[in-house]
Amino acid sequence: MQSVLGTSADVGFQLDLGELGDILLYARYKAVGIALGEGKIMNRKEIEEVLKKPYMPFYVYLLRNPKGHVFYVGKGEGKRILNHEKELYRKHFPVHTNWKKLNRVAQIIASGKEIGYEIESWHYDEFSAYEREDKLILKYEHKNPHRLCNSNGQRWRGNPSKGLIKLRAEKKIGI
């Protein structure tokens, strides 16, 4: 049975509406240019097939460990979701490299298991994708702050990502 997260979802309120809830949720998201993902954990080959014909230009994705737990939330376009494994093999790393995420990816690969990929939602514009990513990061940080690898200190305090701050400034929307 599915549950609907209304505007009060940010404070943890859930109302179980069954099938009607699914219909309302999809209708609300569709009205603002967001489509929910399939809610399916996929392997690398399956996600490559999905990305060949993207539903919308931007998406928010979840990386899961072999037990199915979310360890990273990201916003992407193109094949961004698949780049995390490639990052391991770089010769030079940028200053802002997320070592916690890379270590988790390396541990999964070294164990001979696969990363689980899930597209949580599709977006027409980058701004809504960044907002959704931030909400999910806060949600998963709150559930288990030591498991999620998005930690940059700012999000623990509820502050948005640098990308979202930049887009808000460009659109002149309040932070």
More confident residue, 98 or 67: 67
Nearby residues of 97 by Cβ (< 8 Å), 6 or more positions away: 87
Domain of 9 in residue numbering reads as 1-31
Asked if pLDDT for residue 171 goes beyond 70, the answer is no
Together in a domain, 59 and 25? no
What are residue 35's phi and psi, to 5 degrees?
Answer: -120, 135
Total number of domains in the chain = 2
Centroid of chain to Cα 58: 11
The angle that helices 126-143 and 162-171 make with each other, rounded to 10 degrees, is: 140
Together in a domain, 53 and 14? no
Arithmetic mean of pLDDT, 29-44: 71
Asked if pLDDT for residue 20 goes beyond 60, the answer is no
